[in-house]
Amino acid sequence: MAGKEAAKRARAKGEEGSDVEDESPTKAMRSSFEALWAEQMGQMVSDLSTALEPNIKTLLTAHAVQVDKHVKALDAKVEEYAKVSNEKLDDLSMRIEKLEMERTQNDAKHKKEWERIDKPLGSSSIPKSTSAANPTSDFTREIDASIFKVNCENLVAKSAVLLSLSEWLTEASMEAGKEYVLEGNELGKFFTIQFSGDYDTAVKRCTKARQLLRGNDGIWKRFECLDPQKKTTQLYVGFDKNNKLLRTEYLSKRLLKAIESVTGEDKGKFQLQKKEGKITLEWQSLAKIEVVSKEKADIKWVQSTVDKYKIDKDAILSAYNLSTGSDAGVLWSS
């Protein structure tokens, strides 16, 4: 029995060894095939890449050209939009200035209205205007810091104006009839927000309301109301200005446009302080409008800045006079 079991084990071992010997050629063939397949696939990929490379370059070049066209078209649209926006802002500024001028002319024709404004308005809490509201000296009168002027392009009801402004003034914790009153005709284009209290208190209330005219996002509040024909009309809320200040702001903006058009410099290089009539170039003083009278205004230049940037004053003066329809005073340099 022991001999038979040993023989079986020997036969089994021999068969197992035979299988191992049979598997060795199969593994070798498989490895060879895999190597050949990998080589052929690598060659195919290489050939395909070589064949596609010119087409890919052509496609990429064509795509780059299209992208460049789109970018240029977009730049042109942005530039056109900026131009239109600037024109609209300029037109809006002109309309506001025109309304301001019209307002002061209208005030001069209605002395009784000025006298009414200068009297106590039913309560001793409403301050008298320190400007004395004298229409004959409106060109250089003292500016009243306790009021806002509200101008409208169309005739509107005072109640509609008050309703439009109430949200802003309520936000400033002010109530109509207590902290302020809206002055003006029941139907008109020009109104005044007069803040109450003594003059200093009224100025503080006006300043508080002014701070809320612009939101945290830097955008100014917009006011609108319906006129008697149910059409929407915009309200322009601004600070009190005399005619000299109005003229200074208007002419300084005209001068800036003339300088920009003649020099061709990037508009971002110029800065305008319209209340002072000053224009700077890269924050260096360049020019100033000095309003002498209703009919006369002089342009003053800083010669060192003019020389540094090679400013053509004569060309600018011509463009300025053309845009304002008048002749500026004698050029002055320092």
Domain range annotation of the chain: 111-241, 245-333
How far apart are the two ends of the chain, measured CA to CA in Å?
Answer: 132
Question: Can you list the alpha helix ranges (DSSP code H) found in 109-136?
Answer: 111-118
CA distance 246 to 139: 9
What is the model's pLDDT at position 126? 46
What is the model's pLDDT at position 236? 93
* Rounded average pLDDT over 218-246: 92
Residue listed under structure tokens 């000299």: 244
Q: For residue 147, what pLDDT band results from cuts at 50, 70 and 90?
A: very high
CA distance 23 to 73: 70
* Rounded average pLDDT over 287-298: 89
Residue type, position 207, single letter: T
Tens digit of each residue's pLDDT (9 = 90 or more) over 161-196: 999 999 999 999 999 999 999 999 999 999 999 999
CA distance 237 to 38: 80
Residue listed under structure tokens 């036969």: 11
Per the DSSP assignment, residues forming a β-bridge with 237 are 150
Contact 214, 184 (CB under 8 A): no
CA distance 189 to 99: 9
pTM over 0.85: no
CA distance 124 to 30: 110
Sequence-ordered list of residues with C-beta below 8 angstroms from that of 103, at least 6 positions apart, any chain = 149, 151, 189, 190
* Sheet of 232-239, strands arranged across: 180-183, 187-195, 147-157, 232-239, 223-226
In the predicted structure, residue 296 carries a pLDDT above the cut 60: yes
* Rounded average pLDDT over 87-111: 59
User: In the structure, how many helices (H) and strands (E) does the chain have?
Assistant: 7, 10
CA distance 5 to 232: 114
Nearest to 148 by CA among 92, 212, 66: 212
- 45, containing H or E segment: helix 2-108
Least confident of 45-59, 114-128, 298-312: 114-128
